[in-house]
Amino acid sequence: MNLRLILPASAALLMVATSCQPYVEPPPPAPADPAARTRTPEEEEKLRQQRAEMEKKDKENATPDKDKTTEGGEEGTAKKDPGQGEGTTTPKPPEEKKSEIQVARPVPGKPGFVFSPFNNKVIDVKGIPSGRLVADPTYPASEKKHFRVP
């Protein structure tokens, strides 16, 4: 009689034990590759213009001794000015590119409120003194959108 109870009980216990395996969720699908998206002809033209401007700036900022050839036509050797000795050229200090901080526009008829210069939304700046640098609350802190209070 014990055998009749032990066999079904052990089978039931075995089924319960094997069904308690943790469920492993499959990984989420990979995000779409932003480089793989197609660009419109307008975007392509804009990119070409930006690249051309960057190449111009690189050529302007290049040192005058680089990539010049001598009168004999040998490449890789730079021309020397007879009046200058070696090492007398003074390098230009690097130009610092600072983005201008934009100034918000006040909302007419509502003191203490301004229009964001980034998305034109109304922002409450009551109690913040004029000229103070403020982070735009409509953007996350990682984007660092700041403006000055008028």
Confirm if 65 and 80 have CB atoms less than 8 A apart.
no
Q: What is the pLDDT of residues 103-128, one digit of tens each?
A: 999 999 999 999 999 999 999 999 99
Nearest-angstrom CA–CA distance, 115 and 118: 9
Q: What is the pLDDT of residues 18-63, one digit of tens each?
A: 776 677 777 777 666 655 567 788 888 888 998 888 888 888 876 5
When comparing pLDDT for 39 and 102, which is higher? 102
Question: Which pLDDT score, from 0 to 100, does residue 119 have?
Answer: 92
Structure tokens at 102: 């934009």
Confirm if 52 and 59 have CB atoms less than 8 A apart.
no
Can you tell me the mean pLDDT for 10-22? Answer: 77
| Range of weakest confidence among 4-8, 39-43, 73-77, 90-94 | 73-77
pLDDT at 66 over 50: no
Residues near 75 by beta carbon (within 8 Å), at least 6 away in sequence = 69
Which residue, chain included where needed, has tokens 């983005």?
Answer: 99
Rg of the chain taking only CA atoms, in angstroms: 34
Question: Which pLDDT score, from 0 to 100, does residue 113 have?
Answer: 94
The model carries a pTM of 0.36
Question: Which pLDDT score, from 0 to 100, does residue 142 have?
Answer: 87
Question: Which pLDDT score, from 0 to 100, does residue 5 have?
Answer: 82
Question: Which pLDDT score, from 0 to 100, does residue 89 have?
Answer: 63
Of 107, 139, 145, 103, nearest to 126 (Cα)?
107
